[in-house]
Structure 1
Amino acid sequence: MRQCMGCGEKKEKKDLIRIIRTPDEEIVLDVTGKKNGRGAYLCDSISCLSKARKKKAIDRALNMTIPEDVYQQLEKEMMNHAD
């Protein structure tokens, strides 16, 4: 079980999207859940991403400040993933 950084609900790992900080300090969306790096979990919804962004929950989970353009990129990737 993992907790969504946005809504706080606990769900199965496979039901959440993982956002990771790679060893190269990159922030990427990990839809497979198997990439190497420090991870934070979100429900597959833009509203949870927005809530986590507002609370700076992802920043804390990944131990770094997430730039604005990275949030926009994550939002686009989540929209494409939903299709």
Structure 2
Amino acid sequence: MKKRKIPMRKDILTNEMHPKKEMVRIVKNKAGEISLDTTGKKPGRGAYVSLNPEAIKAAKKAKILNEVFESPIPDEFYDELFDYVDHKKARQELFGND
């Protein structure tokens, strides 16, 4: 049986490569709105972050997403991202990869 290629993406917070399934996509649409893309199919400019809650905390302090998306990101979005990543990581540890 032929082995399938695993798509890899670079984490914008740590600059490390991870499998796409182990990451969360953040999207900026044409209207300039930033949102989480849980399906991976939303239109717009996307960036990936790994399931590392500590990296999200550091990103909030350094306002890294503001630089990446070249627009102000509210603290509430960082909190939403942290909650989602923390939940997804806990789920992954419990049940393995989704």
Task: Compute the displacement of 1:80 (Å).
Answer: 3.5
For 2:10 and 2:60, locate their aligned partners in 1 and report how far apart those are by CA, in whole Å: 15
Q: How does 1:45-64 map to 2 (within 5 A)?
A: 45-64=52-71
Secondary structure in structure 2 of the residue aligned to 1:34? coil
Q: Which has the higher contact order (CA 8 A, sep 6+)?
A: 1
Is the 1:46–1:78 Cα contact (8 Å) retained in structure 2?
Answer: yes
Percent identity over the alignment is: 33
For 1:55 and 1:39, locate their aligned partners in 2 and report how far apart those are by CA, in whole Å: 20
Is the 2:12–2:48 Cα contact (8 Å) retained in structure 1?
Answer: yes
TM-score, normalisation: structure 2? 0.67
For 2:16 and 2:61, locate their aligned partners in 1 and report how far apart those are by CA, in whole Å: 17
Computing the radius of gyration from Cα coordinates, the structure with the larger value is 2
Aligned partner letter, 1:70: F
CA RMSD after TM alignment: 1.9
Runs (4+) off by over 6 Å: none
Cα deviations by residue, 1:2-48 (Å, 9 ceiling, x for unpaired)? 22122221223332111111223222111222211111211012112
Count, aligned residues:
83
TM-score, normalisation: structure 1? 0.76
Sort the Cα spacing of 1:23 and 1:81 in 2 relative to 1 into closer, same or farther, 3 A. farther
Identify the residue that residue 3 of structure 1 maps to in structure 2. Answer: 10
Identify the residue that residue 12 of structure 1 maps to in structure 2. Answer: 19
